[in-house]
Amino acid sequence: MSAQLPREKVPILLVDDQPEGLMALEATLAPLGQQIVVARSGREALRQLLNQDFAVVLLDIVMPGMDGFETAQLIREREKSRNTPILFLTALSRGEVPEFRAYAVGAVDYLLKPYEPDILRSKVSVFVDLFRKTEMLRRQAEALREAQRREHERELAEAHQRLEVERSRWREELLRKEMETGRNQQRWLEAVLTTLPSPLALLEPGTGHILFANRAAQSLADGALVYPEARRLNTELVFTDSEGKQLPDESLPAARAARGELLSGVPVEWRRGEQRGAALAFSSRLPPMHGRPETALLALLDVTALHVTERNLQRAVHVRDDFLSMASHELRTPLTSLKVHVQGALRAAHRRGEEPLPVAQYVAKLETLEHNVSRLALLVDNLLDISRIHTGRLDFELAEVDLAAVVRDVASRFSEEASSAGCTLSVRAENPVVGRWDYSRVDQVVTNLLANALKYGAGAPVELAVSEEASHATLEVRDGGIGVREQDRYRIFERFERAVPHEHYSGFGLGLWLVHEIVTGLGGSVTVESPPGQGALFRVLLPWSREPQATEWRKVAQG
């Protein structure tokens, strides 16, 4: 396609304040056959430039108000007319024209009046041709853009058509994927429900048919709470209510939920031989949704462990009551003796006219009082140690302690009690055995073990021995008493536990427990050996040095 210049008249702006100057310019440019627009001032020229574009502006320099330089400056400052060619015309002589300023304000050339008409027409013709070429390029660009727009619209129409086809295919694929996703979600939900620890089942209303039961529901009571066939296979399994009344099949949670009953924590218990179990039943109705019919939901809460805990708590309460009974009895015995002796002493002191009792009798009474007070103090200390161990605050004051010296001292204090119990007391602790321990706690360990040996080994010899090894010191207390049955050898070190009835032997059942707690707190261990018919041997191992940890006491107390 050949490019042809547009033949429309090209606008040329003539700016001069002199009418004769404008007439001369019009006459000179008339042969060019273009559109001539005149302006008689700079301001009028600016208004013309606001309305249309011009191929060239012929601008007189000397004008009143706003001269040619100022007008040119404003033309250049306007974005749309910034590139419009400006040709200055002036009657000034060549030496009077400030050429640098003319070019500085954007003039492409200037002519001096009187000008040569052919030269002026030649210069203007150049700008006219340039304007036409520019206009042609603009129109070609617009035509190109229009062609591109039409092509683009055609391509868009084709793309839209292809897109509709693709959308149709995508919709079909999406529907297929949604259906597959729905199936996968159902499988995933069933997998989640299957692994839940809470028994859960979905039943068909009316028939009671099991639509789904997770693993926990299948294992709870061997699945007999949900599946009727499982109940028929477990003939020894018996279901009862919370009062122990046996439940028929129609009264079980699954049958009631299928009938539409809304259960809220209904208890059901079962037993099979020595095995026991319990659960709370909850049910609700799921309305039809997502293409599924109405469904009965049955949830079971296994409370077997709670029942076991309840029995343990009841046992703990029973143990507490027994302990309080024992404590009142144990505390009353020395208090009664103290009261009797104090009352006797007061009566003797108030008798008049009688000779005073001999000093030996007073000493005997005081010794009895001192013995009972010591017994009371020991009982109170044991009770305080229970509280300290429970709160993790059993105190240790570590220092250099001679275990052999502690054993000899305790044995000396128990000499009269051993004699009263008919026990010969022997001690093998001649050489010092020194470690970093708590003196009072080590004394408490030896005292409790010796008191235990004299209580349960009355009438038989009692031996205490101390030895040392590379890593620890050893304390052994042997008696020839009733011994400890094998099934009781761990239980006797627990709080309030006793291997024999309280009616036969007094005490709180705390001595050996305190021994275990103290020795463990010092990093050691205590064990018992009791061959049949040979009494009991308690062996304590104490490391030479160890900082007791409070956290261990808390763990023991909480356990």
Q: What is the DSSP string of 67-78?
A: -HHHHHHHHHHS
pLDDT, tens digit, for every residue of 486-531? Answer: 777 677 888 765 555 444 445 556 788 889 988 998 999 999 998 8
Please give the C-alpha separations between residue 186 and each of 132, 145, 192, 285, 477, in angstroms, as whole numbers: 75, 56, 10, 19, 69
For residues 62 and 447, give the distance between their C-alpha atoms in angstroms, rounded to a whole number. Answer: 131
So what's the pLDDT on residue 557? 36
DSSP 396-448: --EEEEEHHHHHHHHHHHTHHHHHHTT--EEEE--S--EEEEEHHHHHHHHHH
pLDDT, tens digit, for every residue of 364-419? Answer: 666 666 656 665 665 566 555 555 555 455 678 899 999 999 999 999 988 888 88
β-bridge pairing 11-15 and 35-39: parallel
Q: Do both 450 and 468 map to the same domain?
A: yes
275 located within any domain:
yes
Please give the C-alpha separations between residue 294 and each of 183, 206, 251, 252, 337, in angstroms, as whole numbers: 19, 11, 22, 21, 79
Helix, strand, coil % in the chain, rounded to nearest 5 = 50, 20, 30
**pLDDT truncated to tens, each residue of the chain (559 aa)?**
444 555 689 999 999 999 998 999 999 999 999 999 999 999 999 999 999 999 899 998 888 888 888 888 898 888 888 888 998 887 765 555 566 566 677 677 778 878 889 998 998 999 999 988 888 888 888 889 999 899 989 988 998 899 899 888 988 998 888 888 878 877 887 788 788 788 988 888 888 888 888 888 888 888 888 887 887 788 788 889 888 888 888 888 888 988 888 899 899 988 888 788 899 999 998 888 777 788 889 999 888 888 778 777 776 666 555 555 555 545 555 666 566 666 666 666 555 455 565 666 656 666 666 656 665 665 566 555 555 555 455 678 899 999 999 999 999 988 888 888 899 999 999 899 999 999 988 998 999 899 888 888 888 999 999 999 999 999 999 998 888 887 776 778 887 655 554 444 455 567 888 899 889 989 999 999 988 778 889 999 999 876 554 434 333 333 3
26 located within any domain:
yes
147 located within any domain:
no
274 located within any domain:
yes
Residue 384 tokens read as 């305080």
Q: Do both 472 and 530 map to the same domain?
A: yes
Q: Do both 297 and 317 map to the same domain?
A: no
Q: By residue range, what is the domain housing residue 329?
A: 311-374
Task: Output Rg (C-alpha) for the chain, integer angstroms.
Answer: 58
Q: Do both 298 and 322 map to the same domain?
A: no
For residues 206 and 255, give the distance between their C-alpha atoms in angstroms, rounded to a whole number. Answer: 9
Please say which residue of 270, 302, 334 terminates a domain. Answer: 302
So what's the pLDDT on residue 106? 66
212 located within any domain:
yes
pLDDT, tens digit, for every residue of 249-270? Answer: 888 888 898 888 889 989 998 8
Residue carrying the six token digits 């308690």: 538
So what's the pLDDT on residue 58? 92
Nearest 5 degrees, angle CA 284-CA 287-CA 291?
135
77 located within any domain:
yes
**Is-contact 138 123, C-beta < 8 A?**
no
DSSP H helices in 225-300:
228-233, 253-258
Q: Do both 31 and 100 map to the same domain?
A: yes
Q: Do both 218 and 357 map to the same domain?
A: no
Give the number of other CB atoms < 10 A from CB of residue 128. 22
Residue 5 tokens read as 């210049």
Q: Do both 294 and 261 map to the same domain?
A: yes
So what's the pLDDT on residue 539? 95
Overall domain count for the chain:
4
Q: Do both 325 and 287 map to the same domain?
A: no
For residues 409 and 432, give the distance between their C-alpha atoms in angstroms, rounded to a whole number. Answer: 13
385 located within any domain:
no
226 located within any domain:
yes
CA torsion sign, 405 to 409 to 414 to 415? positive
Q: Do both 342 and 431 map to the same domain?
A: no
Q: Which of 468, 472, 455, 451 is nearest to 541 (CA)?
A: 472
So what's the pLDDT on residue 558? 37
Q: Do both 395 and 526 map to the same domain?
A: yes
For residues 330 and 321, give the distance between their C-alpha atoms in angstroms, rounded to a whole number. Answer: 14
Burial (0-12, 13-18, 19+ Cβ within 10 Å), 281 = buried
Q: Do both 233 and 318 map to the same domain?
A: no
Please say which residue of 269, 302, 335 terminates a domain. Answer: 302
Q: Do both 363 and 439 map to the same domain?
A: no
Please say which residue of 89, 110, 139 terminates a domain. Answer: 139
Residue carrying the six token digits 């009797």: 340
Please give the C-alpha separations between residue 462 and each of 306, 485, 498, 527, in angstroms, as whole numbers: 46, 19, 20, 17
